[in-house]
C-alpha cells in the first residue's frame, strides 16, 4: 500500500470527486442525464419482469378488425360491439373496465344508447378524456378537457384524462393528477385503481378515521356510496385534499396498518392507496418489459373467450384496459417511445402504459428516486470512496479495487431497483466520478513514475546496465528525488559460505569457477524472483538489497522470503550437485543506505553504502558463533508477518557501538512444526532466566533444549557463556545479558 501521504491525497481526491458528483446531481442537467442513461441502464440490466395477473389489456388491432369484418379504424367501429364487450366483461366479474378510446363524436344514436345502457348496468367503466392545449393570441395557452359525448359520459363510473407527450421523447413518468381546464383531475389509470380497490374502502376509511376523524367524516360511509355512479372522481379529489391538508395522516395510517391483522393482499392495496394520495403528482413508470408484457388479448379473441363460461372465469376480478395495441410496428397508431422500445420500432401503446400505471399502483411499486439530501449524500460518499481508492493504492490494485467497488454498488442498485422500485443514481457515479478519479490517479501515477525514472537514470546511468536502471526507476519512490537523490531505505541481505577457503584449496580453478557459477545462480534466483538487486559479489560473499524511497514493510517481507528460499535452494544444491557442500550463512538488516559510486578516474562501481551494509555482514558472521543459518535484526523484522523467528538476545557486534536484537528466521508461519514452536517458547524462557542472571534456571532451560535438539547452536552458545560466567563473572555492565562479540 501507499504511505500516509498517498492516503491523504486519496481522501482529498475523494472529497473533490464527491463534490463533482454533487455539482452534477444537483442541476437539471444531472437529473436529465440520469433519467436518459441511468434509468435506461437499470431497466436493461434488470430486464423484463412478470406483470400482475390482475390487470390485462384487450387490444384493438388489425387481427381483430379482420376477424370481426370491420374496418381497421376503431373510430368507425359500431359502438354496439363495445356495449357487447362491456356486458360480457361485467358478467364475467371484471372489477373495472377502462376504455382508452375517445368517444368524442356522436355516432348512430341507437348504438350510443346501447353502450350507455351497458355502462350504466356495469357501473365500473372508466372512460378517457382528451386534454387539449389551446393557444390564445399566439402566446397564452389554456388546457381544455375534451369529454366523450354526453350520452356516454353520463353513464360512465368516471371520466379522466391521461395526457402523454406528443414529441419523440421517451416516456419515463406520468402525472397522477393534472390540471384539466382549471380544475384538478386524477388521471385515467388512477381513477381505475380507486374503483378496483373498492373492496377495501371500508378498511381504508377505518384507518383514516383513526388518523383523522374529521377528514373521515367528510367521506361516504360505504364503497357503494363512494364510487356510485359518477362519484369516483370526487372521492379521489377529496382524499387527495385530506392528505394534503394534514401530512401526518399517511404516517399514522401506515402505522395502524402495520399493527393490524388485515390480510396481505388487502394490506398491499391499502398501502398503495396511502402512498398514492400522500405522494407527489409525478411518478416514474416501472415498466414490465416490451410491448405485450402485460397480458394482452386481441379484441376479437376476448369476445370469443367471454362466450364460454370456463374461459370467462379467467376475467373474474381483473382490471381490463381496452385500447389500441398492435403487435407489429407498421400497424401502430397510439404508440410511445419507452426504455423497452424495440429496434424494429415497436413501441408501447398508450393503453399499455395506462395498464402499466395501474399495475404499478396495485403492486405499490412505482419507481422512487431518492430524496435530494439522500441523493447528494450517496453521490458524495461514492466519490469519496472511489477517490480514496484511486490514490491510496498502486494503480493496478486501485483499478481492481475500484471495479470491485463499482460492481458491488451496481449490484446493490439493480437489486433495489428490481425488488423495491428504488432508483439509485448511475450516471454521475459511473460516467463522471469513477472515470474522473481514475484519470487523476493514472495521471498522478504517470508523473510519479516518470519523475522516479528520471531521478534514477540521472543517478545511476553511469554505473549500471540499462535494464537495472529501469528496474530501480520502477521501484524507488519520489522522496529519493526530493531529498538526497541517492539516499534510500532498504533491506540488506548478506551471505557467506562457511569454510569456503578449505573448499577452494581442494579444487581445480576451472572446477571451482563452474561450482561458483552454479552456486551464484542458486543464490541469485530467489533474490531476483522476489524483487531484490544483487549489489555486490566478492569471492563467495553476496550482498543483495531491496530498496524504496521510504520504509516499506513489503520489501522486508520479500527479503525474509528470499533468505529462507536461498537456504532451501542451497540445501537442494548441495544435495544434488554431488560436490563439496557450500553451507551458506545469511544475515539481514534494514535501514537507510546510500546507493553510491565507488571508484576513481574512469572506473566506478555501483554499491550500497551505509551502516546497515556493515551490520548485515556482522549479523551474517554471527551465524558462525551460534551455528545458525539465517539471522536477522529487529529492524529487518519489524512490521513483517508470516514468519516464525526465534529471539536470540541482545548482541554488541564487533566494531559496533549500538546493540542489536538478533532473531533466527526459522521458517514461514504455515510451515512451522510443533517442535519448532516448542523450541521458540522454551528458548524464550531460558533466555529470560539468563537475562535475569538466574543461572540455575537458565542452565536447566538450555540443557533441556539440547536434550531435545542436540544440534541447537544458540542453546549450546548460552550454556558455554553460563559455564564461563560461573568461573569468571562478567566484568562489564550486565545490561540484561548483552552479549559482546569480539571477532567478525
Cell of residue 185, nine digits: 383531475
**261 CB-side CA count, 13 A:** 0
Residues 606-618 as b/e (b if ≥16 CB within 10 A, e otherwise) read: bbbebebbbbbbb
The DSSP line for 255-273 is HHHHTS---HHHHHHHHHH
Pairwise CA distance, residues 624 & 454, whole Å = 43
Tell me which of 3.10.180.10, 3.30.70.1230, 1.10.238.10, 3.60.20.10 is the CATH number of domain 486-640: 3.30.70.1230
Phi, psi (rounded to 5 degrees) for 615: -65, -40
Q: Are 198 and 223 in contact (CB under 8 A)?
A: yes
Rg (CA), the chain: 43
What is the overall mean pLDDT for the chain? 86
Q: Are 112 and 146 in contact (CB under 8 A)?
A: no
Between helix 248-258 and helix 264-278 the angle, nearest 10°, is 170
Residues 204-223 have a mean pLDDT of: 90
> Does 480 have pLDDT greater than 50?
no
Pairwise CA distance, residues 453 & 5, whole Å = 20
Among 150, 153, 145, CA closest to 119 = 153
The whole-model pTM stands at 0.61
Containing 594, the helix (H) or strand (E) segment is strand 584-600
Pick 107 or 321 by higher pLDDT: 321
Among 551, 30, 631, 89, CA closest to 317 = 89
- Helix segments in 287-392, DSSP class H: 299-307, 309-312, 350-363, 372-392
Considering the chain, what percentage of its residues have pLDDT values greater than 70? Answer: 88
Q: Are 94 and 315 in contact (CB under 8 A)?
A: yes
Q: How far is CA 527 from the centre of its chain?
A: 38
For the stretch 124-164, pLDDT in tens is 999 999 877 544 444 444 467 788 999 999 999 999 999 87
pLDDT of residue 460: 58
Classify burial at 181, counting beta carbons within 10 Å of its beta carbon; exposed 0-12, middle 13-18, buried 19 or more.
middle
For the stretch 496-534, pLDDT in tens is 998 887 777 778 888 888 888 888 999 999 999 999 988
Pairwise CA distance, residues 77 & 138, whole Å = 37
pLDDT band at 438 (very low <50, low <70, confident <90, very high): confident
Phi, psi (rounded to 5 degrees) for 633: -80, 165
Among 134, 130, 164, CA closest to 147 = 130
Among the residue ranges 33-47, 174-188, 711-725, the one predicted with the least confidence is 174-188
Q: Where are the domains of the chain?
A: 18-47+372-449, 55-197+285-363, 486-640
Cell of residue 597, nine digits: 559510486
Cell of residue 407, nine digits: 460492481
Amino acid at each position: 500500500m501507499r504511505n500516509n501521504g498517498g492516503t491523504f491525497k486519496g481522501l482529498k481526491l475523494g472529497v473533490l470527486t464527491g463534490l463533482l458528483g454533487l455539482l452534477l446531481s444537483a442541476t437539471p442537467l444531472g437529473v436529465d442525464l440520469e433519467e436518459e442513461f441511468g434509468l435506461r441502464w437499470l431497466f436493461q440490466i434488470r430486464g423484463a419482469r412478470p406483470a400482475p395477473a390482475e390487470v390485462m389489456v384487450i387490444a384493438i388491432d388489425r387481427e381483430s378488425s379482420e376477424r370481426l369484418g370491420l374496418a381497421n379504424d376503431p373510430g368507425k367501429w359500431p359502438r354496439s360491439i363495445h356495449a357487447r364487450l362491456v356486458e360480457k366483461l361485467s358478467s364475467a366479474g371484471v372489477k373495472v373496465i377502462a376504455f382508452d378510446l375517445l368517444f368524442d363524436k356522436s355516432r348512430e344514436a341507437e348504438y350510443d344508447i346501447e353502450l350507455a345502457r351497458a355502462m350504466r348496468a356495469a357501473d365500473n367503466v372508466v372512460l378517457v378524456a382528451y386534454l387539449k392545449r389551446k393557444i390564445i393570441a399566439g402566446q397564452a395557452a389554456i388546457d381544455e378537457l375534451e369529454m366523450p359525448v354526453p350520452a356516454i359520459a353520463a353513464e360512465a363510473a368516471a371520466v379522466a384524462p391521461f395526457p402523454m407527450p406528443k414529441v419523440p421523447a421517451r416516456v419515463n413518468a406520468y402525472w397522477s393528477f393534472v390540471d384539466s381546464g382549471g380544475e384538478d383531475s386524477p388521471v385515467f389509470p388512477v381513477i381505475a385503481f380507486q374503483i378496483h380497490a373498492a373492496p377495501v374502502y371500508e378498511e381504508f376509511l377505518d384507518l383514516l378515521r383513526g388518523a383523522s376523524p374529521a377528514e373521515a367524516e367528510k367521506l361516504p360511509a360505504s364503497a357503494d356510496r363512494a364510487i356510485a355512479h359518477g362519484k369516483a372522481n370526487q372521492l379521489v379529489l377529496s382524499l387527495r385534499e385530506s392528505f394534503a391538508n394534514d401530512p401526518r395522516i399517511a404516517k399514522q395510517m401506515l402505522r395502524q396498518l402495520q399493527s393490524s391483522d388485515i390480510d396481505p393482499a388487502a394490506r398491499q392495496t391499502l398501502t398503495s392507496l396511502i402512498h398514492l394520495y400522500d405522494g407527489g403528482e409525478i411518478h416514474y413508470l416501472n415498466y414490465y418489459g416490451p410491448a405485450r408484457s402485460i397480458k394482452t388479448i386481441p379484441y376479437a379473441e376476448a369476445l370469443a373467450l367471454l362466450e364460454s363460461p370456463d374461459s370467462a372465469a379467467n376475467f373474474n376480478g381483473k382490471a381490463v384496459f381496452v385500447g389500441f395495441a398492435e403487435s407489429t410496428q407498421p400497424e401502430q397508431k397510439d404508440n410511445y417511445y419507452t426504455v423497452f422500445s424495440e429496434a424494429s420500432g415497436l413501441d408501447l401503446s398508450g393503453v399499455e402504459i395506462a395498464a402499466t400505471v395501474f399495475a404499478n399502483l396495485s403492486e405499490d411499486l412505482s419507481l422512487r428516486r431518492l430524496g435530494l439530501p439522500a441523493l447528494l449524500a450517496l453521490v458524495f460518499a461514492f466519490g469519496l470512496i472511489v477517490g480514496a481508492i484511486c490514490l491510496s493504492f498502486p494503480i493496478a490494485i486501485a483499478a481492481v479495487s475500484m471495479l470491485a467497488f463499482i460492481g458491488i454498488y451496481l449490484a446493490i442498485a439493480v437489486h433495489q431497483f428490481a425488488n423495491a422500485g428504488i432508483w439509485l443514481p448511475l450516471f454521475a457515479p459511473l460516467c463522471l466520478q469513477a472515470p474522473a478519479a481514475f484519470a487523476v490517479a493514472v495521471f498522478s501515477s504517470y508523473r510519479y513514475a516518470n519523475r522516479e525514472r528520471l531521478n534514477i537514470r540521472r543517478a545511476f546511468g553511469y554505473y549500471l546496465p540499462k535494464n537495472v536502471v529501469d528496474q530501480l526507476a520502477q521501484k524507488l519512490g519520489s522522496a529519493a528525488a526530493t531529498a538526497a537523490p541517492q539516499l534510500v531505505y532498504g533491506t540488506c541481505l548478506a551471505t557467506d559460505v562457511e569454510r569456503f577457503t578449505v573448499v577452494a584449496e581442494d579444487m581445480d580453478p576451472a572446477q571451482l569457477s563452474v561450482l561458483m557459477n552454479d552456486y551464484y545462480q542458486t543464490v541469485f534466483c530467489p533474490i531476483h524472483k522476489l524483487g531484490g538487486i544483487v549489489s555486490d559479489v566478492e569471492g563467495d560473499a553476496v550482498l543483495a538489497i531491496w530498496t524504496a524511497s521510504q520504509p516499506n514493510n513489503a520489501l522486508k517481507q520479500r527479503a525474509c522470503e528470499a533468505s529462507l528460499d536461498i537456504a532451501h535452494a542451497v540445501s537442494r544444491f548441495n544435495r544434488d550437485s554431488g560436490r563439496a557442500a557450500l553451507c551458506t550463512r545469511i544475515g539481514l538488516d534494514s535501514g537507510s543506505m546510500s546507493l553510491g559510486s565507488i571508484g576513481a578516474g574512469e572506473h566506478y562501481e555501483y554499491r550500497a553504502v551505509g551502516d546497515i551494509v556493515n551490520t548485515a555482514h556482522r549479523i551474517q558472521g554471527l551465524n558462525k558463533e551460534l551455528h545458525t543459518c539465517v539471522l536477522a535484526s529487529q529492524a529487518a523484522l519489524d512490521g513483517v508477518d508470516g514468519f516464525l523467528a526465534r529471539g536470540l538476545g541482545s548482541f554488541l557486534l564487533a566494531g559496533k557501538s549500538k546493540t542489536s536484537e538478533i532473531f533466527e528466521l526459522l521458517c514461514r508461519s504455515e510451515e512451522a512444526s510443533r517442535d519448532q514452536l516448542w523450541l521458540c517458547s522454551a528458548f524464550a524462557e531460558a533466555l529470560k532466566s539468563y537475562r535475569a542472571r538466574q543461572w540455575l534456571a537458565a542452565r536447566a532451560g538450555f540443557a533441556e533444549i539440547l536434550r531435545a535438539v542436540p544440534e541447537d547452536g544458540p542453546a549450546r552458545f548460552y550454556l558455554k557463556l553460563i559455564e564461563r560466567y560461573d568461573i569468571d563473572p562478567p566484568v562489564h555492565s550486565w545490561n540484561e545479558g548483552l552479549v559482546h562479540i569480539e571477532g567478525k
